[in-house]
């Protein structure tokens, strides 16, 4: 099985990055894993499944945007993604996108 794993990884200062690094060690013996920490090179057609690790800060924006476009398994590490959405919209000066998302 070919698995795309989209998550921030160390050296990102994120507990999810550390968690993902540990999880990858356990997953690699079970499947062919390709890791992405950017949406730039991700081609969903090359994989059987995508796993998105999504938390509540800007480090996860690429995984969030990609998950909206490509089906897969989403692991939400937060009950509320408001800070992620605010980073992606308000900080970019796009209040219309913020209001549409919220």
pLDDT in tens, 49-99: 999 999 999 999 999 999 999 999 999 999 999 999 999 999 999 999 999
From the centroid of its chain, how far is CA 80? 15
pTM, 2 dp: 0.91
Measure the CA–CA gap between 4 and 33, rounded to whole angstroms. 6
Measure the CA–CA gap between 63 and 47, rounded to whole angstroms. 15
Measure the CA–CA gap between 32 and 75, rounded to whole angstroms. 19
Query: pLDDT category, 102, cuts 50, 70, 90?
Result: confident
If phi over 0 gives left and psi between -120 and 50 gives alpha, with beta otherwise, what is residue 93? left
- What residues are paired with 51 via a beta bridge? 5, 73
DSSP class of residue 78? -
């Amino acid at each position: 099985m070919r698995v795309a794993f989209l998550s921030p990884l160390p050296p990102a200062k994120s507990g999810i990055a550390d968690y993902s690094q540990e999880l990858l060690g356990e997953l690699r013996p079970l499947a062919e894993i390709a890791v992405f920490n950017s949406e730039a090179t991700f081609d969903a057609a090359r994989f059987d499944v995508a796993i998105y690790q999504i938390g509540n800060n800007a480090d996860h924006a690429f995984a969030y945007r990609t998950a909206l476009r490509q089906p897969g398994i989403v692991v939400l590490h937060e009950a509320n993604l408001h800070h992620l959405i605010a980073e992606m919209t308000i900080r970019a000066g796009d209040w219309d996108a913020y209001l549409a998302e919220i």
